[in-house]
Amino acid sequence: MGKKRKSLPAARREIILAWLEGEGVLSIQELQNRLNVSHMTIHRDLDQLADQRLVRKVRGGVMGAHERESLPTNLNYCAMCGSIVSARTQVVIKKQDRSRLFACCPHCGIMLLADGTDIESALVQDYIYGRMVNIFQATYVVGSDVRLCCVPSILGFAGISDAQRFQRGFGGQLLNFTEALQHLAETHHQQ
């Protein structure tokens, strides 16, 4: 007799747990996009994981059980798409009036910066090392096999050599900030 295969829902739940292990918090929309399943399917999977006390459901998303003690009282939501902002892919934009905007990923962050008015500074999370770097000086991998919440997927890197190594493994196109902004403008214009 061969090994018993896992059901698709069980496999999905294992994938969700693995992602939460690395990222801590994920939005329902991120999970729906990554897994290419319905909103209700995600909720059923999360309900089962929550019943087993493996995750904690929060408004608009889910966090790993290990995050339970440090649950923030004020989660940041993406100013562009409304997803929960994950520390792994966040963008922080400081405006001249000292207010801050948060984006869930470089895609949304770059879109928020498209008009370029009243921005004091903007930082993007380096996808490999987790350091915050100047969004205008980062190198981006656009359209890799690593899917985030927004399409096309855009990941930020502090250095071009790290971005090139990532690109060799996961594909995509290397762009600077201006090129990434232009690419998004063309992509969204075609839709």
Give the start-to-end residue ranges of the domains of the chain: 8-70, 91-190
| Highest mean pLDDT, choosing among 67-71, 85-89, 173-177 | 173-177
For the question of whether the overall pTM of this predicted structure is more than 0.75, the answer is no
How confident is the model over 133-181, as pLDDT tens digits?
999 999 999 999 998 888 889 999 999 999 999 999 999 999 999 999 9
CA distance 183 to 113: 14
- Residue 94 token pair: 């400081």
Produce one character per residue of 78-98: b if its CB has 16 or more CB atoms within 10 Å, e if not: bbbbebbbbebbbbbbeeeee
State which CATH number among 1.10.10.10, 3.40.50.300, 3.40.50.2300, 1.20.58.110 fits the domain covering 8-70.
1.10.10.10
Q: Given this model, what pLDDT does residue 1 score?
A: 46
**Token code pair at residue 144:** 């890799």
pLDDT at site 170: 95
| DSSP β-ladder status, 119-125 and 100-103 | unpaired
Q: Which residue has the higher pLDDT, 144 or 62?
A: 144
d(C-alpha 149, C-alpha 23), whole Å: 13
Q: Residues 113, 124: contact at Cβ < 8 Å?
A: no
